[in-house]
A and B are shown apart, each in its own frame.
Chain A
Amino acid sequence: MTQWRPPLSLIGAWLVLLALLALTVTLAYVPLGAGNAIVAMSIGTIKAGIVAAIFMELRHRSGLTLVFAGAGLFWLGILLWLGLMDFLTRT
């Protein structure tokens, strides 16, 4: 009766996600100036990457699925890049 047990990769991903949550909340209280926002977004990106790679099984996918999954990110990049360029470069 081992067929109902979750794979170790899933348990590992879940525990790492909870640890990263604890880490990001802790670091939010450490004064790092502008670094706080960078740390928060970086840890968020790592968490999202773990969810996408392991929970959403993208690490077992190739080719077309990765292109389709990446398309959303690509368009998001265009949206944020062109949308923010004006505001970030104004003097």
Chain B
Amino acid sequence: MPESSAFAPQYASIPHRDHTAELGMWVFIATEVLLFGGLILAYLVYRHAFPQGFAEASRHTEIVIGTANTAVLLTSSFLVAWAVEIFSPDTARITTWLLMGAACLGLAFIALKGVEYSKEFGEHLVPGIDFQFAGPRGNSIQLFFIFYFVATAVHALHMLIGIGLLIALAMICRKAPTTRHHTALHSAALYWHFVDVVWIFLFALIYLPGRSSS
């Protein structure tokens, strides 16, 4: 990778530049942890207040789609980690394919989420637009679905940004990738894995409660 001025004057070396980029990504991820942390705090408070309502609401979510989407995201993270690992000018083609594969899995996630949203709309489970639930726990179930839509929509927005990053990097890395591209890919990969981690917890909080009772 021939590049003499690959780093800005404030850095002493390429590893110094890369280390700085990595620390910067972790600071960004810390802010994101607190963004989703606030949502999860609200969820935990209301779940503690309305345990039965939240369990009943959770049984109305589509666990098959949720589980499939978790597997899709885990696989896409694996492809990105693989691309970061083998990144070099000799493997530019396969790196591009891995990143495009990961982006396609991301789009599959979004598509399945769309199917799920339309099913919930059909079942009148969308607070603020069309929410009807007969029964004593209607209000707490509505609270659950407010959390569900806000959290999954914020997560889906992060997915769309990540998909854009992966496609852009796949295009850039196709020809003569440099260490700068590797750093950019590594930063985008950290973001993508973080979005995956958020989903792991959203999945456990949204789809799993209340399954063992009816």
Does B193 sit within 8 A of A, measured CB to CB?
yes
Complex partner residue of A21 from B30, B38, B67, CB under 8 angstroms: B67
- Write the chain B residue with the least CB distance to A35: B212
Knowing A4-B91, A44-B201, say if A10 contacts B81 (CB, 8 Å).
yes
CA distance A51 to B191 in the complex (A): 12
1/0 per position for B57-97, CB-CB distance to A under 8 A? 00000010001001100110110111001101011001000
User: B201 to chain A: which residues have CB within 8 Å?
Assistant: 44, 48
Q: Which of the 9-residue segments B20-28, B132-140, B147-155, B177-185 touches chain A?
A: B20-28
Whether B212 contacts A76 by the Cβ 8 Å rule is no
- Write the chain B residue with the least CB distance to A31: B212
Whether B48 contacts A88 by the Cβ 8 Å rule is yes
Knowing A18-B74, A68-B26, A84-B41, say if A51 contacts B197 (CB, 8 Å).
yes
Most buried by A among B33, B201, B208: B208
User: B70 to chain A: which residues have CB within 8 Å?
Assistant: 21
Does B211 sit within 8 A of A, measured CB to CB?
yes
CA distance A37 to B90 in the complex (A): 47
Does B127 sit within 8 A of A, measured CB to CB?
no
Whether B33 contacts A73 by the Cβ 8 Å rule is yes
Question: In angstroms, how far is the closest chain A Cβ from the Cβ of B109?
Answer: 14
Complex partner residue of A4 from B80, B94, B189, CB under 8 angstroms: B94
User: A40 to chain B: which residues have CB within 8 Å?
Assistant: 204, 208-209
CA distance A4 to B212 in the complex (A): 44
Complex partner residue of A6 from B67, B86, B193, CB under 8 angstroms: B86
Whether A72 contacts B78 by the Cβ 8 Å rule is no
Q: A48-B200, A51-B193, A79-B37 are known contacts; what are 11 more A-B pairs with Cβ within 8 Å?
A: A5-B86, A6-B81, A18-B71, A29-B211, A41-B204, A56-B193, A64-B23, A76-B33, A76-B34, A79-B38, A87-B49
Q: Report the 4 A-B pairs with minimum CB-CB distance, sorted nearest first.
A: A72-B30, A72-B33, A68-B26, A14-B78
